[in-house]
């Protein structure tokens, strides 16, 4: 298992694919590890050097202390973690694909570190994911009852009814993934999403952008994806049928086709 020191954190990552190929950075969603991308990695590594990593406090990456009871991390800090990982591995530039909070990180990178980013894919994300009251209620519940109490309910937002009925084994695995995320990592990143407004950042993005959304996503629905694409000059919007918030798990072939059709060789 590869680990590397990235500033004050030890980051867990995976780097696979042909040496010398263009690097494709995958930034995962809240409450997941980089294994959320497992099903699409084989298709992507035919053309790219694929870099996955666990966000701070997720998977096996260190959790940074929270700055306060009501203060979490920021999207800027999380984007800085991604840049620190690229620096530590000697990667100057990458295509970036971000899912949910990872898509917010990707927006920030494209806007404020344009020399480090080539093409960008924003998957099931938005410039603003709210309202803040929803996040505050969730944070109160997690502090009171713990992540295991909310993990089963998260599955209804992540996956369609059909997948949940057909793959109870998969769903139990993702319940475990959420429940075993560190409290600091989940709360810190939840507060980063709560506090983020990337609409001004979107207007600064000059890189080619593809926005993707599952047609049944209740967390960042198609209307949010449309608004995101409209706020970024030249952005293209694609919808994946029969997918909720985590299409890389639910419809990996469809997502891989869209990525390979958009990203240059």
pLDDT band at 162 (very low <50, low <70, confident <90, very high): very high
In the prediction, which pLDDT does 130 show? 87
Q: Which structural domain range is residue 206 located in? A: 3-262
Give how far Cα 171 sits from Cα of 164, 221, 243, Å: 6, 21, 14
In the prediction, which pLDDT does 11 show? 98
* Average of per-residue pLDDT values in the chain: 97
pLDDT of 58 > 90? The answer is yes
Render 76-92 in DSSP notation, one character per residue: HHHHHHHHHHHHHTT--
Question: How many structural domains comprise the chain?
Answer: 1
In the prediction, which pLDDT does 76 show? 98
Give me the helices (H) in the chain, please.
Answer: 41-44, 75-88, 101-112, 132-145, 147-158, 161-166, 168-179, 183-195, 199-204, 222-230, 247-250, 252-262
pLDDT band at 178 (very low <50, low <70, confident <90, very high): very high
pLDDT band at 170 (very low <50, low <70, confident <90, very high): very high
pLDDT of 68 > 90? The answer is no
In the prediction, which pLDDT does 257 show? 98
Region 65-79 average pLDDT: 91
In the prediction, which pLDDT does 264 show? 96
pLDDT band at 47 (very low <50, low <70, confident <90, very high): very high
In the prediction, which pLDDT does 6 show? 95
* CA-closest candidate to residue 190, choices 219, 162, 165: 219
pLDDT band at 28 (very low <50, low <70, confident <90, very high): very high
Q: List phi, psi (to 5°) of 106.
A: -65, -40
pLDDT of 50 > 80? The answer is yes
Region 54-63 average pLDDT: 98
Helix pair angle (147-158, 132-145), 10° resolution? 140
CATH number (domain holding residue 255): 3.40.50.1820
How do residues 80-134 score in pLDDT, each as one tens digit? 999 999 999 999 999 999 999 999 999 999 999 999 999 999 999 999 998 999 9
How do residues 206-256 score in pLDDT, each as one tens digit? 999 999 999 999 999 999 999 999 999 999 999 999 999 999 999 999 999
């Amino acid at each position: 298992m590869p680990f590397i020191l990235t500033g004050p954190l030890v980051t867990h990552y995976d780097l696979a694919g042909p040496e010398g190929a263009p690097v494709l950075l995958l930034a995962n969603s809240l409450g997941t590890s980089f294994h959320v991308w497992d099903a699409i990695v084989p298709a992507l590594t035919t053309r790219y050097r694929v870099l996955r990593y666990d966000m701070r406090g997720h998977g096996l990456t260190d959790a940074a202390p929270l700055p306060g009871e009501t203060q979490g991390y920021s999207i800027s800090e999380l984007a800085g973690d991604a840049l620190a990982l690229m620096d530590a591995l000697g990667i100057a530039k990458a295509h970036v694909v971000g899912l949910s909070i990872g898509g917010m990180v990707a927006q920030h990178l494209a806007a404020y570190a344009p020399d480090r980013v080539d093409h960008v894919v924003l998957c099931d994300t938005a410039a603003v994911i709210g309202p803040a009251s929803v996040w505050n209620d969730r944070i109160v519940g997690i502090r009171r009852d713990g992540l295991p109490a909310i993990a089963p309910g998260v599955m209804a937002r992540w996956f369609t009814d059909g997948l949940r009925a057909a793959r109870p084994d998969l769903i139990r695995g993702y319940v475990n993934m959420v429940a075993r995320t560190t409290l600091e990592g989940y709360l810190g990143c939840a507060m980063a999403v709560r506090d983020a407004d990337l609409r001004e950042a979107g207007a600064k993005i000059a890189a080619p952008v593809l926005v993707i959304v599952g047609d049944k996503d209740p967390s960042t629905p198609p209307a949010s994806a449309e608004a995101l694409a409209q706020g970024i000059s030249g952005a293209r919007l694609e919808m994946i049928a029969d997918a909720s918030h985590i299409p890389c798990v639910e419809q990996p072939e469809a997502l891989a086709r869209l990525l390979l059709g958009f990203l240059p060789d």
